[in-house]
């Protein structure tokens, strides 16, 4: 009986002994791993400190590390920006953007054109690049329409101060303040009336209207009165005088002489003489539809493109 009791006691004690042995083994393993990790980290830290001290004494290595780090930062920044740019810009290429830009390098102009462009940029407080493009176009269209380019530029200056988005109270729009609704047929070759706010298109349509006014009136001064809508008024409010004075200043600039650059209106300010005269823009614009007026200027020669 005592033998059986001892055997039972031994059997019951075996699991506890095994568990204690396993616990001791696991604790020894963990302590060993901690010691190894501690020693490994100490070795790695020592290596890093040694590498840093070595790199500190080598300017070329330090510069290379800085460049690598900067490149990594830039790559991360671009990775964050590109999705936003793609959503905002779509699939527009740089070539397409440049094709739409109404601007030219002033260095591409000849001496007279460059002088005019820089003078206008200073006088009307606008960038020289878009003004240079308008000067180029005024010279090109003026030659085809047999009009002095300085006259075209003077009208733009007085009408809109070179603000392509200017609009009068009666609906005259753009650089040359053309009545868009009454001249919608002239905008058809350029894609519709919204093209009135494209500077090049507005310039070309405005020149066509101006040619009609001069042909109808028989002289430049009378044509300008038609253009501003004062043909049947006793006074044009000084409009013709302002345009011709501005043209004379541009001619002086072309010849290298000094011309005033102060006293210009703020950009976008319409220099029509008064509200009554503004209301007369509608009769002015009807010249094109008057069956007794001269034939329309040849818009076919004014290609609906920016080139």
Better pLDDT: 207 or 63 = 207
Q: Which of 122-131, 253-262, 289-298 has the highest mean pLDDT?
A: 122-131
Alpha-carbon distance 205 to 212, whole Å? 11
Query: What is the band of 206 on the pLDDT scale with cuts at 50, 70, 90?
Result: very high
| Average confidence (pLDDT) over 103-126 | 94
Of 306, 289, 285, 288, residue with least CA distance to 168: 285
Alpha-carbon distance 24 to 21, whole Å? 5
CA distances from 42 to 29, 35, 38, 45, 68 (A): 20, 11, 6, 5, 27
Q: What is the pLDDT of residue 158?
A: 96
The answer, yes or no, to whether residue 274 has pLDDT greater than 60, is: no
| Average confidence (pLDDT) over 43-65 | 71
Return the biggest CA–CA distance within the chain.
Answer: 146
Q: For the ranges 68-82, 220-234, 237-251, 285-299, which has the lowest average pLDDT? A: 285-299
Q: For the ranges 61-70, 210-219, 226-235, which has the lowest average pLDDT? A: 61-70
Task: Map out the domains of the chain as residue ranges.
Answer: 2-89, 106-301
The answer, yes or no, to whether residue 170 has pLDDT greater than 80, is: yes
Buried b / exposed e along 19-33 (16+ C-beta atoms within 10 A): eeeeeeeeeeeeeee
Q: For the ranges 135-149, 209-223, 228-242, which has the lowest average pLDDT? A: 228-242
The answer, yes or no, to whether residue 266 has pLDDT greater than 80, is: no
| Average confidence (pLDDT) over 33-39 | 77
Q: What is the pLDDT of residue 4?
A: 58
Share of residues in the chain with pLDDT > 90 (%)? 39
| Average confidence (pLDDT) over 135-153 | 95
The answer, yes or no, to whether residue 302 has pLDDT greater than 50, is: no
The answer, yes or no, to whether residue 93 has pLDDT greater than 50, is: yes
Query: What is the band of 155 on the pLDDT scale with cuts at 50, 70, 90?
Result: very high
pTM more than 0.85: no
Better pLDDT: 258 or 267 = 258
Q: What is the pLDDT of residue 45?
A: 75
Q: What is the pLDDT of residue 278?
A: 39
The rounded mean pLDDT for the chain is: 77
CA distances from 201 to 87, 170, 218, 228 (A): 30, 20, 26, 19
| Average confidence (pLDDT) over 24-28 | 76
Q: What is the pLDDT of residue 112?
A: 95
HEC sequence for the chain: CHHHHHHHHHHHHHHHHHHHHHHHHHHHHHHHHHHHHHHHHHHHHHHHHHHHHHHHCCHHHHHHHHHHHHHHHHHHHHHHHHHHHHHHHCCCCHHHHHHHCCCCCHHHCCHHHHHHHHHHHHHHCCCHHHHHHHHHHHHHHHHHHCCCHHHHHHHHHHHHCCCCCCECCCCEECCCCEECCCCHHHHHHHCCHHHHHCHHHHHHHHHHHHHHHHHHHCCHHHHHHHHHCCCCCCCCCCHHHHHHHHHHHHHHHHCCCCCCCCCCCCCCCCCCCCHHHHHCHHHHHHHHHCCCCCCCCCHHHCCCCCC
106-301: what fold? Lysozyme (1.10.530)
Q: What is the pLDDT of residue 13?
A: 61
Query: What is the band of 82 on the pLDDT scale with cuts at 50, 70, 90?
Result: low
Q: Which of 103-112, 153-162, 276-285 has the highest mean pLDDT?
A: 153-162
Q: What is the pLDDT of residue 270?
A: 39
The answer, yes or no, to whether residue 1 has pLDDT greater than 70, is: no
Q: What is the pLDDT of residue 98?
A: 59
């Amino acid at each position: 009986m005592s033998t059986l009791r001892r055997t039972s006691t031994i059997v019951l004690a075996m699991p506890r002994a095994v568990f204690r042995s396993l616990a001791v083994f696991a604790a020894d393993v963990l302590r060993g791993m901690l010691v190894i990790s501690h020693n490994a980290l100490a070795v790695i830290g020592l290596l890093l400190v040694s590498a840093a001290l070595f790199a500190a004494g080598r300017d070329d290595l330090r510069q290379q590390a800085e460049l690598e780090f900067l490149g990594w930062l830039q790559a991360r920044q671009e990775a964050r920006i590109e999705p936003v740019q793609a959503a905002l810009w779509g699939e527009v290429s740089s070539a397409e953007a440049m094709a739409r830009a109404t601007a030219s390098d002033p260095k591409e102009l000849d001496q007279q054109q460059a002088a005019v462009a820089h003078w206008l940029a200073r006088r009307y407080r606008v960038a020289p690049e878009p003004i240079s493009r308008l000067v180029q176009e005024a010279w090109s269209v003026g030659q085809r329409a047999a009009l002095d380019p300085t006259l075209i530029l003077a009208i733009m200056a007085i009408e809109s101060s070179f603000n392509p988005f200017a609009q009068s109270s009666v609906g005259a729009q753009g650089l040359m303040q053309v009545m868009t609704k009454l001249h919608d047929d002239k905008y058809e070759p350029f894609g519709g009336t919204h093209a009135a706010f494209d500077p090049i298109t507005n310039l070309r349509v405005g020149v066509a209207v101006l040619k009609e006014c001069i042909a109808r009136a028989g002289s430049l001064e009378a044509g300008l009165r038609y253009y501003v809508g004062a043909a049947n008024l006793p006074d044009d409010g000084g409009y013709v005088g302002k345009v011709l004075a501005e043209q004379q200043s541009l001619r002086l600039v072309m010849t290298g002489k000094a011309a005033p650059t102060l006293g210009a209106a703020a950009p976008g300010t319409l220099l029509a003489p008064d509200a009554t005269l503004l209301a007369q823009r509608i009769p002015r614009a009807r010249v094109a539809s008057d069956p007794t007026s001269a034939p329309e200027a040849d818009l076919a020669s004014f290609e609906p493109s920016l080139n």
